[in-house]
Amino acid sequence: MLGDIYKSYFICVQITYERSDICIAVNRRYITGKFFGTDGFRGEAGVTITAEHAFKVGRVLGWYFGERKNGKCRAVIGKDTRLSSYTLEYALAAGLTSAGGDAYIMHVTTTPSVSYITRCDGFDCGIMISASHNPYYDNGIKLMNERGEKADESLIKIIESYLSGDLSPFGGKDIPFACGRNIGRTVDYVSGRNRYIGHLISLSTCSYKGLRVGIDGANGSAWQIARSVFDALGAKTYVLGASPDGINVNGGVGSTHIEALCALVKENGLDIGFAFDGDADRCIAVDENGEVLTGDEELFIAANYLKDRGELAGDGVVCTVLSNGGLIDSLLKRGIVSHICGVGDKAVCDAMSNTGVVLGGERSGHIVFSKYETTGDGLVTAVMLMEAVVEGKCAPSSLLKGYKAKPQYSVNVPVKNGKERESELQSVAVNLENRLGVRMIVRASGTEPVIRIMAESDSEENCVLACNILYSEICGKNCS
């Protein structure tokens, strides 16, 4: 059963995708340690993640890649707009250069841009300072390999050891400080960000002249880049979330507060709108009626767009167990099979690699077009959706013809020990599934101290009821 397969990720029992037309792409479990979770090292800045941590991460990277290539490590660093991003940026650069590496600074930019530049400009690794959709007081460090993908687990293990004071990977001795000519340097690399903007513009084969587009930059990484791209392509842009002050990233704006963009689209009669999160690796769209297009709707539009162009390899997509069952059914009617994987963009990318498909994504708005990127990119998603609208000569809502979502309800429960509670909740989830006829997923978040609950059924009432019962079960024992 699919639920049994994914038990190592989260509770997910008796899922109804037991059909010959559904492919299950099984992912191995990814390492989560004391510091690094499913999406890098993340926590409250100055408390959970400090300048000292960043300095040590930089030292390991400078040493590791220097030893591996018997030369200087070349690392590129980007950051979002959080107040703490500057502290972590300078600390990382200091650690890298003290270990003999060179740090190339892209300044405020998106996670996908760091991935793109790492891959295209031959860097040994990429580093992004961001806590994505989290509040401003959190921050994080995301590491990428030379292909712009998430860093290899072998490297993460070494960093975890060093941060814990275990020097065994280094022969029992601390990492030496570089001296003389071997000391590294920092290099201003804003040109990399500009080249990424050019890359995004080059993806479009159409002019957006005459189209009115809303853009919500979340006061984060995309606050300048998104508008630059759409202005260059001829759209008339209406922008919010473009006044970062260090403490307002994701504050009432962005993909996690989509109501702001919905209002902008409705009030100004816009053709379409796009909202990004703090580091712009996800995008949630809004159609001409102010209706929200989640990652599921975006994936449906993108899959049909690529299929019509003959570019959907294997007539398949990768989606996760959180994806709406209606997406899978709707795609199947178009002759498109769904490969189901675990949660997270790394799981999606791995499943895409294993199955050979070129499109995958999550309901949260992480969409991967492997022809252009090795990771989810909110801006690439926005450009591809615009291409579908312009080439289809229709409104965004018209591109959802044939799509019917099932009722789905979700809730996040703040807890301090989510991973420990996960297994305890299995019997409750099973009981609710059997009693209410719902599909349930309960999992501890890899990026926040919460347990995420999702219920799906033909009955919206049962979805809400199941989530509320489980919410009460969790809060009755351990709600922070």
Residues identified as active-site: 132
The three-class DSSP label of residue 297 is helix
Element housing 411 (H / E): strand 408-414
How many Å apart are CA 227 and CA 244, to the nearest integer?
14
Sign of the Cα torsion 338, 342, 348, 353 reads: negative
Separation between Cα atoms, residue 381 and residue 365, nearest integer Å: 9
Distances (CA, A) of 432 to 285, 423, 467: 33, 15, 9
CA distance 127 to 155: 13
Asked whether the beta carbons of 357 and 314 are under 8 A apart, the reply is yes
Task: Give the burial string for 405-442 (b: 16+ CB within 10 Å, else e).
Answer: bbbbbebebebeebeebbeebbebbeebbeebebbbbb
Q: Which run of H or E residues covers position 443?
A: strand 439-444
Residue among 177, 146, 185, 153 at smallest CA distance from 59: 177
In Å, how far are 65, 93, 210, 398 from 96, measured between CA atoms? Answer: 10, 5, 47, 51
Spatial CB neighbours of 431, under 8 Å, sequence gap ≥ 6:
none
User: Is residue 252 within 8 Å of 233, Cβ to Cβ?
Assistant: no
The answer to whether the beta carbons of residues 139 and 42 sit under 8 Å apart is: yes
The tally of CA atoms less than 13 A away on the side-chain side of residue 332 is 15
Sheet holding 450-456, edge to edge: 408-414, 450-456, 439-444
Tokens of 173: 């001795």
Q: Could you please report the per-residue DSSP string of 98-157?
A: HTT-EEEEEEE--HHHHHHHHHHTT-SEEEEE--TTS-TTEEEEEEE-TTSSBPPHHHHH
Whether the CB-CB separation of 80 and 113 falls below 8 Å is answered with no
Is the CB of residue 94 less than 8 Å from the CB of residue 55? yes
CB atoms within 10 A of CB 83: 16
